[in-house]
């Protein structure tokens, strides 16, 4: 609800694709700059307690934005500043949350857990935009921000209610100099980490910019309202849930899944770019959602399995840097392209990037012979589960 309300507010405050792209970039700029340090904190400290702190802090920007919009005092620079504050907290929250998955379920269920998490997230992305579109139409954008501020209480209570003794605790990294550099060296040394992250650099920068493109498609391509934007987001969310359920049922990952998902992602994005009507646009976003979440969950699961426990927080921080932290580069670029050549051009560039990543990764996997190590981990996890 917050995302739909925020992007719709920015469309009206700026009237340009570049302005919306700047907002998306500001949200993830701190992850680009500070995400690796957030991973160090996740490896050094109790992740459950760290998440209780970050989730509490993330309620503050939402509450402030609710007050500003409810009183009519909101200005563009205020929205940008609050987005930047939220992104700074997210730089610590994201790697802690990503690496906390294996602490909750253990290594044998990581692939399933990541997929289940995707199901929950994308189900929320179906329900949330639909509620946001209705709420904005009836009561304005401010209510969406207020509801989001309240929602963080649920996260805090859920984390507080966990039994710490039941968690699969990783060994904590000791305080030392050069821990970020050590993680980067480990990733560069090992192809089973390097290749998936390299794919995400390309795809995350140029293809995962729907936060920018969907409101622009709704407003300028289809001349719609916030309800149109919510409909597009919900259609993509339906596909994402289906893709996440399929990934969870599969329960494994590998080079063929990653390259295949990236290729399908690229094809689906090109088809969405060529949709002749709003109805075809909505239909094309369903397989696009399926392919996107299959690719992202596959990369996430592969890194969780390949990273050692003491490095997992930092490796997942690097994942966040290349996935979310690439947005400050990609979002303004895609926003500028959408403003100059139309939102369809942004989809076409993203589709071409995903296809290029699939081709490059296929060649790299064939040369590196890197995947047997992860395959052994997966076979061991399956045996442990049995």
Predicted local distance difference test score (pLDDT) of residue 140: 86
Q: Are 62 and 143 in contact, with CB atoms under 8 Å apart?
A: no
Task: Let me know if residue 364 belongs to a domain.
Answer: yes
Predicted local distance difference test score (pLDDT) of residue 162: 93
Q: Which has the higher per-residue pLDDT, 278 or 101?
A: 278
pLDDT(121) > 50: yes
Q: What is the DSSP string of 113-174?
A: HHHHHHHHHHHHHHHHHHHHHHHHHHH-SHHHHHHHHHHHHHHHHHHHTS-GGGS-PPPPPP
Q: Which has the higher per-residue pLDDT, 107 or 239?
A: 239
Task: Let me know if residue 185 belongs to a domain.
Answer: no
Predicted local distance difference test score (pLDDT) of residue 325: 65
Q: What are phi and psi of 222, to 5 degrees?
A: -105, 0
State which of 113-117, 156-160, 195-199, 256-260 shows the largest mean pLDDT.
156-160
Measure the CA–CA gap between 73 and 183, rounded to whole angstroms: 45
Task: Please state, for a pLDDT cut of 70, what percent of the chain lies above it.
Answer: 90
Task: Let me know if residue 61 belongs to a domain.
Answer: yes
Task: Let me know if residue 173 belongs to a domain.
Answer: no
Task: Let me know if residue 377 belongs to a domain.
Answer: yes
Average the pLDDT over 106-115 and give the result.
79
Measure the CA–CA gap between 220 and 225, rounded to whole angstroms: 10
What confidence category does residue 369 fall into, taking pLDDT thresholds of 50, 70 and 90?
low
Beta carbons within 10 angstroms of residue 68's beta carbon = 17
* Predicted confidence (pLDDT) per residue in 166-203, tens digit: 888 766 656 656 677 777 887 788 888 888 888 998 99
Predicted local distance difference test score (pLDDT) of residue 385: 45
Average the pLDDT over 73-94 and give the result.
91
Q: Are 318 and 39 in contact, with CB atoms under 8 Å apart?
A: yes
Domain count, the chain: 1
157: exposed, middle or buried (Cβ count in 10 Å: 0-12, 13-18, 19+): exposed
Predicted local distance difference test score (pLDDT) of residue 172: 66
Q: Which has the higher per-residue pLDDT, 131 or 307?
A: 131
Q: What is the CATH number of the domain that holds 289?
A: 1.20.1250.20
Q: What is the mean pLDDT of the chain?
A: 83
Q: Which has the higher per-residue pLDDT, 145 or 320?
A: 145
Average the pLDDT over 209-221 and give the result.
86
Residue 355's domain spans which residues?
2-163+192-385
Average the pLDDT over 244-257 and give the result.
74
pLDDT(61) > 90: yes
pLDDT(342) > 80: yes
Measure the CA–CA gap between 15 and 11, rounded to whole angstroms: 5
Task: Please state, for a pLDDT cut of 90, what percent of the chain lies above it.
Answer: 29
Q: Which has the higher per-residue pLDDT, 377 or 204?
A: 204
Predicted local distance difference test score (pLDDT) of residue 324: 73
Q: Which has the higher per-residue pLDDT, 297 or 60?
A: 60
Task: Let me know if residue 22 belongs to a domain.
Answer: yes
Measure the CA–CA gap between 2 and 142, rounded to whole angstroms: 9
Task: Let me know if residue 172 belongs to a domain.
Answer: no
Predicted local distance difference test score (pLDDT) of residue 176: 59
Residue 359: closest CA among 220, 291, 258: 258
* Predicted confidence (pLDDT) per residue in 22-33, tens digit: 887 788 788 878
Task: Let me know if residue 236 belongs to a domain.
Answer: yes
Residues near 373 by beta carbon (within 8 Å), at least 6 away in sequence: 190, 192, 306
């Amino acid at each position: 609800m917050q995302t739909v309300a925020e992007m719709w507010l920015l469309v009206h405050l700026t009237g340009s694709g570049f302005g919306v792209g700047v907002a998306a970039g500001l949200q993830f700029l701190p992850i680009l700059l500070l995400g690796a340090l957030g991973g160090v904190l996740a490896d050094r400290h109790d992740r459950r307690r760290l998440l209780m702190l970050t989730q509490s802090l993330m309620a503050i920007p939402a509450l402030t934005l609710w007050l500003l919009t409810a009183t009519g005092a909101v200005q563009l620079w205020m929205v940008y500043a609050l987005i930047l504050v939220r992104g700074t907290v997210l730089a610590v929250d994201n790697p802690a949350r990503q690496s906390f998955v294996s602490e909750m379920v253990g290594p044998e269920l990581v692939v399933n857990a990541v997929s289940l998490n995707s199901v929950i997230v994308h189900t929320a992305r179906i329900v949330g935009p639909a509620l946001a579109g209705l709420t904005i139409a009836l009561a304005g954008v401010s209510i969406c921000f207020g509801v989001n501020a309240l929602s963080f209480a649920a996260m805090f209570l859920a984390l507080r209610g966990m039994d710490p003794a039941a968690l699969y605790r990783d060994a904590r990294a000791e305080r030392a100099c050069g821990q970020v550099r050590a993680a980067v060296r480990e990733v560069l040394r090992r192809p089973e980490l390097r290749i998936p992250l390299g794919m995400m650099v390309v795809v995350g920068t140029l293809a995962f910019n729907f936060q920018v493109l969907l409101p622009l498609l709704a407003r300028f391509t289809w001349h719609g309202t916030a309800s149109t934007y919510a409909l597009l987001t919900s259609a993509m969310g339906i596909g994402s849930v289906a893709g996440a359920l399929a990934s969870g049922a599969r329960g494994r990952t590998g080079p063929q899944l990653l390259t295949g998902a990236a290729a399908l992602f690229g094809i689906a994005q090109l088809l969405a770019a060529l949709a002749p009507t709003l109805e075809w646009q909505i239909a094309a976003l369903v397989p696009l959602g399926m392919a996107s979440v299959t690719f992202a969950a596959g990369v996430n699961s592969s890194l969780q399995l390949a990273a050692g426990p003491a490095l997992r927080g930092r490796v997942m921080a690097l994942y966040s840097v290349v996935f979310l932290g690439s947005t400050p580069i990609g979002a303004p670029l895609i926003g500028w392209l959408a403003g100059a050549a139309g939102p369809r051009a942004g989809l076409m560039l993203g589709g071409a990037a995903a296809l290029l990543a699939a081709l490059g990764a296929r060649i790299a996997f064939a040369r590196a012979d890197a995947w047997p190590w992860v395959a052994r981990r997966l076979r061991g996890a399956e045996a442990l589960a049995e």
